[in-house]
Amino acid sequence: MEYTFTNAPVDLETLPDYQQLTYTSVSKKRLYKVWAVLAIFFVLIAVGLYFLREATDVPMLIPGLTTGALVVFTLLFLYQFMLQKKIGYALREHDIAYKRGFLFEKITVIPFNRIQHISTSAGALDKIFKIANLNIFTAGGAGSDINIPGLPPELAARLKDKVANHLTEADE
């Protein structure tokens, strides 16, 4: 059997533009979960500052640390608010795309034929806020290549099934 290698050039104008995708936003419950975690840390730091106030006589230490903590947590809350608007995913015929990042935007596009495994997960706070994460793995990585947080559990399961069906169709 004779095999002839071909490697035809690709017309760049015919490639789909991933930047023109319409991304579906994740649930606002993701933002509320992150804010809850930040609030817990803020309370812990406030308690620590209270006990530090009782243990130290350094003037202006507690007001300075309190002001610094307030500024940091305010910036973290605002950052998460802005980030929430920038997280999204798009499911196409042959791939899935995930966009995230407020200061530095990152877009990951994974063709279905490169996906090795797909799963859903939900931690304790995720269960409280009734959200789940969709994790998509490709070969060679230690962790998931795409982790879409803040999806309603039913939607995460449907997306998992949809991608898994694409995987089985590709195997046939």
Which residue's entry shows tokens 């949809």?
Answer: 162
Is residue 63, in this structure, part of any structural domain at all? Answer: yes
Q: For residue 20, is it left (φ>0), alpha (ψ between -120 and 50) or beta? A: alpha
Is residue 19, in this structure, part of any structural domain at all? Answer: no
Q: Same structural domain for residues 101 and 139? A: yes
Per-residue confidence band for 2, with pLDDT thresholds at 50, 70 and 90 = confident
Residue 158: give its domain's CATH number: 2.30.29
Per-residue confidence band for 64, with pLDDT thresholds at 50, 70 and 90 = very high
Is residue 51, in this structure, part of any structural domain at all? Answer: yes
Q: Same structural domain for residues 75 and 49? A: yes
Q: Same structural domain for residues 76 and 100? A: no
Range of the domain at 37: 30-83
CA angle 22, 125, 23 (to 5 degrees): 0
Among 1-5, 63-67, 117-121, 153-157, whose mean pLDDT is lowest?
1-5
- Number of structural domains in the chain: 2
Q: Same structural domain for residues 78 and 96? A: no
Is residue 115, in this structure, part of any structural domain at all? Answer: yes
* CB hemisphere CA count around 23 (13 angstroms): 20
Domain boundary among 49, 83, 117: 83
Per-residue confidence band for 40, with pLDDT thresholds at 50, 70 and 90 = very high
